[in-house]
Each structure stands twice: as C-alpha cells, then as structure tokens.
Amino acid sequence: MHKYNPILLLVDDSDANLENLKGVLKRYTILTANNGNDAIKIATSEPRPHLILLDVIMPDMDGFETCRILKERVASRNIPVIFITGHDEANNILKGFEAGAVDYITKPLNIPELDARVKTQLTIEKARRQNQRLMQKLEMANNQLIDSLRYAQKIQNASLPKTSYLNKVMPEHFVLFKPRDIVSGDFYWVSEVDGRLLIVVADSTGHGVPGAIMSMFGVAHLNQIVGYKRETKPSQILNLLREIVIDSFQQTEISEIKDGMDISILSIDSSNKSIEFAGAFNPLYIIRDNKIIVLPADRMPVSIGEVCQPFKNHAIPYKKGDVMYLFSDGYASQFGGPDDRKIMTTGLKKLILKYHAFSMSEQKMIYDNYFEDWKAGEDQIDDVLLMGLRL
C-alpha cells in the first residue's frame, strides 16, 4: 500500500508570494523555485512533485514557456500544472491551457477556492498514479501469462506432426492452421499403421488454454488407440475415443462437463485405392470430375450427447486425382465480408470447387488470403484448421 504524501512545487519570482502560498498550503510538502529553469530542474528530479503551481509573469522565461518545456520532458509531462496570475483575460487563459495547464487561478487569491482546486487536482493525480501502478501490474501479469502461453504453444506444436513427417507419408497436401489465441483447440494427427495412412482433423471444445488441454488429451489417446491397439477403422476409433472421454471426465446426461471433440478421420489404403471415413459433426469433401462429393459426419460429438449411437463408417474407392478436404468449423464460421456475415459451408464449397485444381501450396495461400481479407482486420472468432490432399 503506497502512502500518499503530496508534494507541491510553487514557482514564483516573488519571495513574498511564495511565503504566502506556503502558509496557505502548509499541510503539504512544499518545494519552491523563483524562475522557470529552476522549476524544470526540480520537477525532473527526485522526489518529483505531484502538482505545480506556476506563476505566469516571470523574468527570462515566463510560465507559458516553462509549462511547455515541462510537458515536453518525459520526467515531468504528467505532472499537473495550475497557473496563478493576475491576468484573467480569455486569451491568456486559453494560452495557458494550450501550454498544458489543467487549471487557472487568478490573483488576488481566494483561499477557499485555491484550497479546493489544489485538492481536486491532487485527487485526480492520485487516481492517475494508482491507475498507472495498476496498469503496470496488469502489464506484468499479462506478459507472464503470454510467456506461459508461448511455452504452452511450443509444447502443443511438438505434439503435432512434423512437416518432414507429413512430407514423407502424405500425398500432395496443405495444412492451414490458424489458432484464434496463442494455443489452439483444433489439432491434426497423422500416422501410418499396417499399410494404412490415418489422418485426423479435430476441433476440441473451446479454444485457448481449455481447448489446448483437450487437444493434448485427444492426441495422447489417438496414439493409444491407433498406435498401441492398432485400430485403423475410423468409426471404431471414434467409438473408443468417445468412451475414453466420457469415462475420463465422468460425463453423464446431467453432468456439467460435456466437453469433447468434433473429428474427421480419414483412412487411406493405397494398395487397393480405397478410403474409409467417419466423422463427428465434421464431414469429408471430395472433389472428383469437378463435382463435390460429401461424406457426411454423424451429428454426435466425441463426448456425452443427446444421441450416443455407434459412429457410421463410410468405405469407398478413390480415383487418382481426387482432392479431399478435412476441416474444423472455424473457417466457415468467420464473420466478415461486405455484409459482415459468415463464410458458411456454402462459401467454403464454392472456394474449394473454384481452386481445387491449383497446387496444394497455392491453395493454402489462397484460402489464407481469402480468410484474412474476409475478416478485414476484425477479430478471428474461432480456431481455424483446413487440410487438403490430392490422391
């Protein structure tokens, strides 16, 4: 708790005037100066005054010039200045405010008025200093939080597939990954198991830290289900993951915690040119012969829900040149554009149909630029994850 002991700097070329002011303001700690240069030196040294009462008419440097210099110096620019003068013409008062003063008192002094105005400015100055200390504390806390999030980001990024691994096992592809905050609730996961390529694109409940924790949970258990149990059927992976989520978070129909994941899982068997797909809310788009094929997702989350049936497994052959897209809902949900509306899945489909023939690296740039232009500097409302691959 900072004890507030106001310090006043009185500036006047008349010793008699200074003694008069000191007598009136004796309850405060008083510093004095007889000219502008001395006033500037005192105001920019420690201890700095909380308030300056400054005479206008002084030799060499008048009060207006002194005030202007005080407001230019970093050390004194925030110290409030009250002008004291016998001139009460409007142009002089205006000139004082333009120089940076906060108030103007005319001579002969009205003691109650002087006392009241000094108290008012000191109250304002005290509040300003308290706000400044609070802002410094908030900035420090914010920096500590950001540092922690940056470190969490490194941990989360380490759990995502490395680019070198994706380039090794994946066909031509791109991944557009744009966390809303520093860390993300969206994540992607890729693994080769028993001759199949498993690709997961997931959207955890929430974003930021809660979403990131859920995403790490999802990655850990996908490693267990696929890597340890060797499960490659997408629908069964979702069934098992849902059981783990419900059991781990002790979810019931009446429980408060119903967090989970919306997931697309694609299994590719290049030996017989077939794919399998299962989804929790998020579908798979396939572009073939310039037409879009939608493999639908079940309207069930990977968590407790109103519907809790086995997930459906889709199995179809693929053709060379098929282009496939997996995604979270963040891209389509972004507000913006000329009418401040969402991109929507219809807008995403139009983009995919228009640009699917471009190389994957070009597509990533196109979708990223479109997204940024669409939101036009406004806040991103959700994590964004869009993956494309050409078989």
- The pLDDT of residue 278 is 98
Q: Any idea what DSSP says for residue 249?
A: T
pLDDT in tens, 88-110: 666 777 888 888 889 888 888 88
The per-residue pLDDT for 92 is 74
The pLDDT, as a whole number, for residue 90 is 66
d(CA 140, CA 215): 28
Going by C-beta distance under 8 Å and a sequence separation of 6 or more, which residues neighbour residue 221?
A: 241, 244
Give the C-alpha separation, 152 to 142, whole Å: 15
Closest C-alpha to 24, from 40, 38, 8, 13:
8
Pick the CATH number of 160-390 from 1.20.1560.10, 3.40.710.10, 3.40.50.300, 3.60.40.10: 3.60.40.10
Answer yes or no: is pLDDT of 2 > 60: no
Domain ranges of the chain: 7-133, 160-390
Residue 210 has pLDDT above 90, yes or no: no
- Residue 223: predicted pLDDT: 93
Write down the pTM of the prediction.
0.72
Type of residue numbered 121: Q
Chain centroid offset of residue 215 CA: 19
Least confident of 67-81, 137-151, 160-174, 294-308: 137-151
CATH T-level fold of 7-133: Rossmann fold (3.40.50)
Burial of 258 (0-12, 13-18, 19+ CB in 10 A): middle
376 vs 373: CA distance, rounded Å: 5
What is the dihedral sign for C-alpha 62, 63, 66, 72? Answer: negative
Per-residue pLDDT band at 208 (split at 50, 70, 90): confident
Q: Considering only CA atoms, which of 223, 231, 260 is closest in space to residue 243?
A: 260
C-alpha 230/C-alpha 170 separation (Å) is 19
pLDDT of residue 152: 83
CA distances from 353 to 238, 293, 324, 334 (A): 29, 11, 11, 19
Using one digit for the tens of pLDDT, what is the confidence trace for 274-310? 999 999 999 999 999 999 999 999 999 999 887 789 9
SS (H, E, C) 112-124: HHHHHHHHHHHHH
The whole-chain average pLDDT of the chain stands at: 91
Over range 153-167, report the average pLDDT: 92
Whole-number pLDDT of residue 211: 85
Read off the pLDDT of each residue in 315-341 and give the average, rounded to a whole number. Answer: 95
Q: What is the pLDDT of residue 3?
A: 64
- Give the residue-averaged pLDDT of 191-207: 91
Write down the pLDDT at residue 6: 92
pLDDT value, residue 257 = 67
Is residue 123's pLDDT more than 70? Answer: yes
* Matching residue, tokens 């990977």: 302
Please state the rounded mean pLDDT for residues 135-139. Answer: 87
Residue 338 · residue 374 · CB < 8 Å: no
Confidence tier at 1 by pLDDT (50, 70, 90): very low
Average pLDDT over residues 31-51: 94
Helix pair 15-24, 111-159: axis angle to 10 deg: 70
